[in-house]
Amino acid sequence: MKDKVTLVVFSGDFDKALAAFNIAVGAATMGMEVDMFFTFWGLNIIKKNKGPIKSKGIMRKMLNAMNRGGSKRLHLSKFHMFGVGTWMMKRLMKDVNFPQLEELMALAREFGVKYIACTTSMGIMGITREALIPEVDTLAGVATYLAEAKESKVNLFV
């Protein structure tokens, strides 16, 4: 049986998303089976970059307007500075040929990393399946995560 790695991606911060995908890609290239469980702010990483987020009720509409998400809209956890800091970090990454987040995500999929989206967070925040990128394999809850985590040798919360 393949070694398993499970990542809980709770944060929607740009830098933490990079770390999570860096580990996921590394593990997958080492022949490990990788599951990424996206919950709460982490769902922002796997929201589509384009199109509206359709949700019901004024509060959820407001939340999804203020918290639009999408891999291209994530903020650095430090020095975001209204976007200037994040823009600069992306420039620095480009400067040393480090792949952009979207490229890391594509690489993760190429090596078979699986995406699981947390249905509870989706329900609370009013995020539908259509708001998420098509690559998401499964919509599930904590039992699915625990069943995977129990069999994993590496289990991280980002």
For 77, the 3-state DSSP assignment is coil
Q: Are 17 and 9 in contact (CB under 8 A)?
A: yes
Among the listed residues 65, 57, 60, the one whose alpha carbon sits nearest the alpha carbon of residue 121: 60
97 lies in the binding site for other proteins (CB under 8 A) = yes
Give the whole-angstrom CA distance, residue 17 versus residue 30: 20
Nearer to other proteins, 101 or 131 (CB): 101
| 90 interacts with other proteins by CB under 8 A | no
**Residue from 70, 85, 99, 141 that binds other proteins (CB under 8 A)?**
99
Q: Which of 67, 85, 111, 139 binds other proteins (CB under 8 A)?
A: 111
Question: Which one of 24-32, 37-45, 78-86, 119-127 is the stretch in contact with other proteins (CB under 8 A)?
Answer: 24-32
What is the total count of residues that contact other proteins (CB under 8 A)?
Answer: 16
30 makes contact with other proteins (CB under 8 A): yes
Output the smallest distance, CB 49 to other proteins, in A.
23
Q: 154-157 and 4-9: which strand pairing?
A: parallel
Nearest CB to other proteins, comparing residues 105 and 131: 105
Q: Cα separation of 156 and 26, whole Å?
A: 14
Tell whether residue 92 is a contact of other proteins (CB under 8 A): no
Q: Residues 103-138, buried b or exposed e (16+ Cβ, 10 A)?
A: ebbebbbebebbbbbbbebbeebbbeeebbbeebee
| Phi–psi pair at 16, nearest 5 degrees | -70, -30
In the complex with other proteins, the residue whose CB is nearer, 85 or 99, is: 99
Q: Which residues bind other proteins (CB under 8 A)?
A: 3, 22, 25-26, 29-32, 96-99, 104, 107, 110-111
